[in-house]
Amino acid sequence: MFTVGILTISDKGWSGEREDKSGEAIRQILSRLDVGAVNYDVVPDEKELIAQKLTKWADEDSLDVILTTGGTGLGPRDVTPEATLSVVDRVVPGFAEAMRAESLKKTPHAMLSRAVAGTRGSCLIINFPGSPKAVCECLKVILPALPHALETLKGQASECATPET
């Protein structure tokens, strides 16, 4: 079991002008898994606010994984990757690479994603796109690796390699 934070980054979602369907999509998919407490919030596209929330959830709330949705594109207010990179200790590029690779099979616009993933202490932070459809597609791509990643991050995983004979 692991604990999760779902952070939606959206000016319109934060102001109540748009329903947060992407955060809800993440919540629905995770509800079928062995997930403990779930923190949830919506913040505007403000780098410092995003970074503060990520830091609080990782450090004070000791969440295992934080999944963000929104703010990963090329728009002038899309700052989620910069906020994430400002708080992580290590970058874990494979998650974002896998999501982009799978998304490219469906749309060339996947090349525009600037999503990143990284660790802060023993918390894994992964950026997702803002569209509910893209969130579902990307979450399905990374889910098979997520439990092992979290076990490894916490020093609980067994050896990955098979012994040579």
**Domain range list for the chain:** 2-153
Classify strands 35-43 and 2-9 as parallel, antiparallel or unpaired. parallel
Q: In the chain, which ranges are continuous DSSP H helix?
A: 11-15, 21-30, 47-55, 80-87, 93-104, 132-142, 146-153
Q: What letter does residue 43 receive in the DSSP assignment?
A: E
Judged by DSSP in three states, 59 sits in helix
Question: In this predicted model, what pLDDT tens digit does every residue of 69-82 receive, in sequence order?
Answer: 999 999 999 999 99
CATH T-level fold of 2-153: Molybdenum Cofactor Biosythetic Enzyme; Chain A (3.40.980)
pLDDT at 156: 84
Q: Are strands 65-69 and 123-128 parallel, antiparallel or unpaired?
A: parallel
**pLDDT at site 132:** 95
Write down the pLDDT at residue 158. Answer: 66
Q: What is the pLDDT of residue 54?
A: 98
Q: What was the pLDDT predicted at 165?
A: 47
Question: Which parts of the chain sit beneath pLDDT 50?
Answer: 165
- In this predicted structure, what is the pLDDT of residue 64? 96
pLDDT digits (tens, 9 = 90+) for 20-30: 999 999 999 99
